[in-house]
């Protein structure tokens, strides 16, 4: 029942939008729609049943033979919800998106046959749309322009030379826009193909080394492969066919292409945030944590307030927090996390990560009491990818508490469960290093007493881990902390 479109829409509305919709429904002669809306909003989606809705709308128990009555009410409510969504979307876009407003105004001039105003406004609107990378919209507007010019602008003109000259100029311009659209579309499709390769590579189902497809020229007369949007997607795509410094070089070029473009809207802001995240993430993998902080901080300072999607904001702040842990700014990481946890769902995906980051900060500060307090008592209900980290942190807790035997047992047990299947080779290498370190500590009772030969093997194992190939950067703060502990034990 919770997947019914009307129920999904009702629960997706903000409190402000829900209140506005209620006012509209109150004006409706049919009170059932308002009643149904309130019933749906009063319960979590998964708790809503046909029996509950039917009983509260009709005052009698639900009967399968009368199911059509409830279906009809939901259908009518859905119609009103869809209309409300359309109206609100247009209203909000008119207020926030100047290009959309100009395009809608042009369409209105066409609809109401205000042809002089249409021709007067066309060039400005087309230029604004092109600057916003909305090439498809420009092509649609040009089609309107050609049609109206053919039927109305020259209807009384017998100068065929002037007509030919006009349409020659207009079609050349249309061809130029079409080239830009084709170029942008090809590079965008190339980006999604690159993602396919990247994920197949992580699964071990693609060649480890594969060249990015060559960039195509888009036309004999003009070449728009240098257009900011095309350049952005080309280099963002190429970055996924390589690792380390090669990926960083491509991501930086993608960022430079878009950052130099002087137009900003929600779309370009999202693209900029995504590429800054990619740069920050790659720099972390390369061990350039101070540089990573520069780019991640820029994403937060310049664009965080403009990010509408909660998932995108969570991703940005998670990467920023991971890097704070990498550079040892544990207190600052905790301050950031305290603010983030206020806005996160108590049992949500992000909340697990925030708890893990806070535990890692406590490890860095060696606050065993905080670690013990925040470790979950029961791991069975926690998703596997989070459970791995809680088990890692548990083993480190025992180490910090001075119980080397249990520290080793926890790490050993983690490597010999299905949880280990969640990891790639490099991530597993970090857990194996953790296990080896604790095993040596347990075997020799004191880390200071580890024989030189075993100490060298431990160091070799540590240095063999290639962080540029670690996909899950959540493991990086653990590795960096572990390296410091190994070095400290060797110097003792």
pLDDT digits (tens, 9 = 90+) for 33-52: 999 999 999 999 989 999 99
Nearest to 279 by CA among 267, 263, 265, 292: 292
Find out whether 189 and 157 touch, Cβ atoms under 8 Å: no
- How many angstroms separate the Cα of 138 from the Cα of each of 87, 178, 184? 24, 9, 14
Calculated CA dihedral for residues 315, 317, 323, 325, nearest 10 degrees: -120
Find out whether 315 and 277 touch, Cβ atoms under 8 Å: yes
- Using the predicted structure, report yes or no on whether residue 420 has a pLDDT greater than 90: no
Q: Alpha-carbon distance 486 to 492, whole Å?
A: 10
Averaged over 91-95, what is the pLDDT?
94
pLDDT at residue number 304: 82
Q: Alpha-carbon distance 79 to 76, whole Å?
A: 5
Residue 357: burial class (beta carbons within 10 Å; 0-12, 13-18, 19+): buried
Token pair for residue 386? 């989070």
Q: Alpha-carbon distance 333 to 384, whole Å?
A: 24
Find tokens 């093997």 and name the residue: 457
256-286 pLDDT, tens digit per residue, is: 999 988 888 888 999 999 999 999 999 999 9
Residues 6+ apart with CB under 8 A from 405: 398, 442
In angstroms, the first-to-last Cα distance of the chain is 64
Specify the pTM: 0.83
- Using the predicted structure, report yes or no on whether residue 222 has a pLDDT greater than 60: no
Q: Alpha-carbon distance 137 to 265, whole Å?
A: 16
Residue 463: burial class (beta carbons within 10 Å; 0-12, 13-18, 19+): exposed
Find out whether 420 and 428 touch, Cβ atoms under 8 Å: yes
318-369 pLDDT, tens digit per residue, is: 999 999 999 999 999 999 999 888 876 665 678 899 999 999 999 999 999 9
Find out whether 77 and 33 touch, Cβ atoms under 8 Å: yes
Averaged over 277-296, what is the pLDDT?
96
Q: Alpha-carbon distance 123 to 107, whole Å?
A: 14
């Amino acid at each position: 029942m919770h997947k019914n479109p009307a129920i999904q829409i009702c629960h997706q509305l903000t409190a402000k939008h829900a209140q506005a919709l209620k006012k509209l429904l109150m004006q409706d002669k049919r009170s059932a729609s308002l009643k149904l809306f309130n019933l749906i909003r009063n319960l979590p989606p998964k708790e809503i049943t046909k029996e509950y809705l039917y009983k509260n709308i009709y005052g009698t128990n639900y009967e399968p033979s009368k199911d059509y009555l409830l279906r009809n009410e939901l259908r009518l409510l859905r119609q009103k919800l869809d209309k409300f969504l359309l109206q609100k979307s247009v209203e909000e876009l008119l207020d926030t998106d100047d290009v959309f407003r100009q395009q809608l105004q042009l369409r209105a001039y066409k609809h109401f046959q205000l042809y002089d105003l249409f021709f007067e406004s066309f060039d400005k609107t087309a230029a604004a749309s092109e600057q916003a990378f909305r090439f498809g919209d420009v092509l649609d507007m040009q089609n309107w322009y050609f049609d109206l010019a053919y039927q109305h602008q020259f209807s009384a003109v017998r100068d065929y030379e002037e007509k030919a000259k006009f349409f020659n100029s207009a079609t050349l311009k249309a061809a130029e826009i079409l080239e830009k659209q084709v170029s942008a579309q090809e590079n965008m499709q190339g980006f999604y193909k690159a993602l396919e390769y990247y994920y197949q590579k992580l699964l071990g189902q693609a060649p480890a080394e594969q060249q990015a497809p060559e960039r195509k020229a888009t036309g004999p007369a003009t070449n728009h492969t240098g257009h900011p949007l095309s350049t952005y997607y080309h280099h963002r795509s190429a970055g996924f066919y390589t690792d380390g410094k090669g990926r960083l070089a491509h991501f930086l070029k993608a960022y430079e292409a878009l950052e130099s473009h002087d137009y900003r809207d929600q779309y370009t802001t999202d693209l900029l945030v995504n590429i800054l995240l990619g740069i920050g993430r790659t720099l972390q993998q390369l061990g350039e944590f101070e540089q990573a902080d520069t780019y991640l901080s820029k994403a937060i300072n310049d664009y965080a307030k403009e990010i509408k999607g909660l998932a995108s904001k969570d991703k940005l702040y998670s990467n920023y927090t991971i890097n704070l842990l990498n550079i040892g700014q544990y207190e600052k990481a905790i301050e950031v996390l305290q603010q983030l946890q206020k806005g996160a769902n108590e049992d949500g995906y992000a909340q697990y990560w925030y708890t893990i980051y806070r535990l890692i900060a406590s490890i860095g500060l060696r606050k065993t009491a905080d670690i013990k307090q925040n470790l979950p008592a029961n791991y069975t209900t926690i998703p596997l990818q989070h459970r791995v980290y809680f088990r890692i942190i548990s083993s480190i807790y025992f180490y910090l508490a001075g119980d080397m035997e249990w520290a080793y047992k926890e790490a050993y047990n983690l490597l010999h469960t299905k949880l280990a299947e969640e990891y790639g080779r490099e991530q597993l290498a970090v857990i194996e290093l953790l296990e080896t370190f604790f095993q040596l500590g347990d075997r020799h009772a004191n880390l200071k007493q580890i024989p030189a030969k075993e100490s060298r093997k431990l160091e070799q194992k540590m240095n063999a881990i290639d962080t540029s190939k670690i996909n899950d950067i959540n493991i990086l703060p653990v590795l960096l902390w572990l390296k410091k502990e190994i070095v400290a034990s060797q110097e003792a």
